[in-house]
Every structure is written in structure tokens, then in C-alpha cells.
Chain A
Amino acid sequence: MNEQFEPVIVGFLCNWCSYRAADLAGTARIKYAPNMRTIRVMCSGRVDPQFVIKALREGADGVMIAGCHPGECHYVEGNIKTLRRFLLLKKMLKQLGVEDERIQLVWASASEGTILADAVDRMTEQVRELGPLNWQNTVLGGGNGQGQPAPIENSPVAEEV
């Protein structure tokens, strides 16, 4: 019997809003999927698209960026820049075969612990459905030297050309 696939999602949370929202969710003992591992930044505007891509490359199945609602950014409008980068990044990642649901941007203010918890639950299920990304092995090739993407088990397209 197969163990259920547990996605690993890296979350970049901003110090003032979303990180505090996650703190609040914990303080309120709200139980939600443990699949998101948080990295604290001062502002979601600090999130360099390189970080998102690095996380995917290093084995994450999904990346969540969480910041303050537009208009409420502690640093006035860092989150607007985040949104701009995020929309362009999604478009580019789509070309690279990364599904939309694997990269998500969530707004949660410091008092919105439930909203953040729900977002994590939702994203965990969506990514679980998509399956593991496993970029190093699945995409770059498990060492046949030719850079062939490794076949997904039971995949009909796993043939040598």
C-alpha cells in the first residue's frame, strides 16, 4: 500500500503580517497541514524570484509567498512589488512546466490566522493532487547523463527515443 505523498511546501512569510498570522494560528491552536515550512523575511518584497526557483530546484513541491494585504504593508507597498514579480514569475514558470498551483501568493494580516491556515490546507491538497515535483531527479534526470527527465512511474510517455 502506498504511503500518501506528503508535499513539502516552502513558505516565505513577512515578519509583520503573515508570520504573525501563522503565530496567531498556532496560539489559537488551529490545526492545519504541517506541510508548509516557514522562512521569515521582513517584507514579502524581499522575496527574490531566485528564492522561489531555488526552493523548487532543491526539492520543494510548492512555494507559498505570504504578505500583508495591499494597502497594509508595513513598508507601504513592498507587497505590490511582490505581486508584480509573482504574476510574471507564474507566467514564466508555466513555460517551464511548473503548474500554477505550485506557486501561490497569499495575503494575510496579523489577525488572520484562520485565513493563513486555510490557505496552507488548500495548497497542500492541491499540490498533493499534482504529485511530487522532485526537480533534481524527475526533471533533470536520474543520472543517465543525457539529461533525460526521469519517467514518472506508470507513465505512458516514459520511453527512450
Chain B
Amino acid sequence: MADSGKPTLAMYWASSCGGCEISVLNIHDKILVVDEVFDIVFFPCIADFKTKDVKGYPDGYIDVCLFNGAIRNSENEEMAHLLRQKSKVLVAYGSCSYEGCIPALSNLTTKQATLDTVFLENPSIDNPDKILPQTSYKVPEGELDIPVFYHTVKSLDQVVDVDYYLPGCPPEPPQIWAVLEVIVSALLEGAPLPPKGSIVGARDVAVCEECPLEKHEKSITRFYRPHEITPDPGLCLLEQGIVCMGIATRAGCGALCPQVGIGCRGCYGPLGDVEDQGAKMLSAIASVIGVGDPSMEEDELEREIQAVVDTLPDPAGTFYRFSMAHSLLRRANVNGGNGKGEAK
């Protein structure tokens, strides 16, 4: 609580794109209500706050902290610990902090490969001395430190205790506002908060519930990438072979993407009883591959189904697009092979 008596609000971005910050602004005129109700005590995106400010706050000083972005490096992790210490309610805001989101896709490769791509093997890079970032570097004025780049991207709850998760990439304005409203009533009027660890700002049902496209029994004989066909408007995209994660993704966004002919990407994360969104999506989509029947010879059966599987180029990247950090395996095994540690 601030000295003014108003509840305090913080918003911090770890490894993120900035879209979550913009999403908060996207609640339009309601941002004025936010400004009226809350005292903003740490929001590096919009104002000049420093880490030492946060360190100077008493523990629990921040009533609500909206933490977005994944844990990519040691600074992200330090800030996560710090903000946890200084906040009453820590919300994993947006898909990155909830489940890893796009940054976590780098878990499919190695730290080495990532740095090589960015700093060495890139057409727009001119780095003849092959300089790679070092965590510490001596200059005449002293020693400079930069955070350690982690091998594996983590979600927020893999480093600190999280109170609520607000999924989405980014979360949709009506959902953001709904969550803020709940928090505001709790803080100002003592209304009950949802149980700790809840997913807020999203529904307990899959996107299909909100999607107006017509759905029939599914039987997919080949998959298409979005640019390969023009889907029939009004008809379920998955049935037409376009991978739509809507079946395995929480609703709450209003099914915005399928309505304009783009398959849902899965950014609101998995449903309640699902531990691994990618595996569940895989199960569902593979189950409805419409080729192969029991009267075929075993070889033929395998070939026919494999032919359909071959039309789906990147299952890991597609099914784990947002949930890699929260998946069961979390990252790719780079030691795989013959036990000799040769990276894949």
C-alpha cells in the first residue's frame, strides 16, 4: 500500500516483446480508472523506475505486480525473486511468464546455437573477430557485468511462487479489465479473491466454444500451412487441414484468430486437466487423421498414415508454440544420440 492509501501496482517485463505492456494500454479509457485507483510504483516501460527503487520498498509493499516475460537470463530471475519478495499478489501476466511462450521455443535448440545465429552466422552481422557476449568484461573504468544467458528458458513459476496466471499473447482487453476489476474490489471492498494458483481472465472451456465456425466430425487427410490454401469461410479450419490449436486451448479471447481464417495458435494455454498442451493437441489431431483402416496390410497402413504426418512440418514448434517451458519435457535433449554427447 502506498503512503497515499491507494493500492500499489507494478508491471515488469522480463524476456518479452512488449506486447503485454501495450495490452494494458489497450484497455483504452479504463486505463484512467487504473490510474485513479492505483499508485504505480514500478513500471519501467512507461516511466523511469530503477531497480534500486524496488529494493528500497518494504516487503509486500507492492499490492499487485503484473510480471510478464519469460525467464531467459539471470537478471530476469533476480527480478522475479525481488518482485516476489516485494509483492503481495504476483500475477504471471501473459503467456511468456505463464508458460514460456515464444522465447521458450529456443529450448528446442542450444544456447550455443542461439548465440551463434545472433552474433556469428547471420547475413546482417559483421563480426569478423567472432566476438560473443561475455558475462563480465574489464574496461579501463572498471568491470562490466551483463546477465548470464540461460541454456533453458523457464516460466515464472519455475523460479518463484506465483499467485495467479493471466494467459494470452497478449491477454485480451476485456479479460485484463475483468481481472483488474476483481483485484480492485478485493483490495478496496474486501471481496474474495480466487484461490491461489488460479488461472484468471480465461474460461474453463476450449476455444471452440467461442468460435462461430461450423463444426462437423473431423477427418483430416492432409495438413496445410496457412499460406497453402484459402479456407472455406464459415467452416472449421481444422477440418480443412489447417492446424488450429483451438481444440486444446483455453477460451476467453473470443476466438479472434479462427474467425479471420487463421488457425488458433494456442496462446491461452492448455485446459485445466491437461499437463502438456502439446502432447494433448498431438493426440487429438493425430486421432482424426482420416486414413488407414483395419483391413489394410500393416506396412500399407503405416505408409498411408506417415504420408499425412509428413504434411505437418514442425509438430514441436506448432504444438508447443506457447507452452514449451510448461510442457513435461521442457526442452529438447541435446545430448541425444550415441551417448557421446553429440548435439542434435
Contact = CB atoms under 8 A, between A and B. Distances in A.
A57 B343 CA distance: 19
A131 B341 CA distance: 11
A151 interface: yes
Contacts of B285: 88
B148 interface: yes
Contacts of B154: 147
Interface string B282-305: 110111010011111010011001
A81 B339 contact: no
Contacts of B282: 49, 85, 88-89, 92
B37 to A, nearest CB: 37
Contact of A84 (B296, B305, B316, B336): B305
Interface stretch (B180-188, B258-266, B307-315): B307-315
B153 A87 contact: no
Interface string B310-334: 0010111101000000011111111
A158 B298 CA distance: 42
A70 B285 CA distance: 20
A70 B298 contact: yes
Contacts of B338: 129-131
B121 interface: no
B329 A135 contact: yes
Given A87-B286, A140-B152, A147-B154, A97 B302 contact: no
A48 interface: yes
Contacts of B315: 88, 91-92, 95
A149 B148 contact: no
Contacts of A85: 282-283, 286-287
A141 B293 CA distance: 43
A6 interface: no
Contacts of A70: 292, 294, 296, 298, 301
B112 interface: yes
Task: Indicate the member of B279, B280, B314, B342 with the most A CB atoms within 10 Å.
Answer: B279
B156 to A, nearest CB: 14
A138 B298 CA distance: 36
Contacts of A53: 276, 279, 327-329
A80 B294 CA distance: 7
A84 B292 contact: yes
Contacts of A155: 335, 340-341
Task: Indicate the member of B283, B287, B317 with the most A CB atoms within 10 Å.
Answer: B283
Nearest to B276: A50
Contacts of A129: 338
Contact of A88 (B309, B333, B343): B309
A25 to B, nearest CB: 21
Given A81-B287, A84-B287, A156-B340, A92 B278 contact: yes
B150 interface: yes
22 contacts: A48-B283, A49-B283, A53-B279, A72-B294, A81-B287, A83-B302, A83-B305, A89-B282, A92-B316, A95-B314, A95-B315, A96-B108, A96-B316, A96-B333, A98-B336, A135-B329, A138-B333, A140-B152, A149-B331, A149-B335, A155-B335, A161-B115
The 10 closest A-B pairs by CB, nearest first: A147-B152, A155-B341, A97-B333, A131-B339, A97-B336, A95-B316, A92-B315, A148-B151, A71-B294, A85-B286
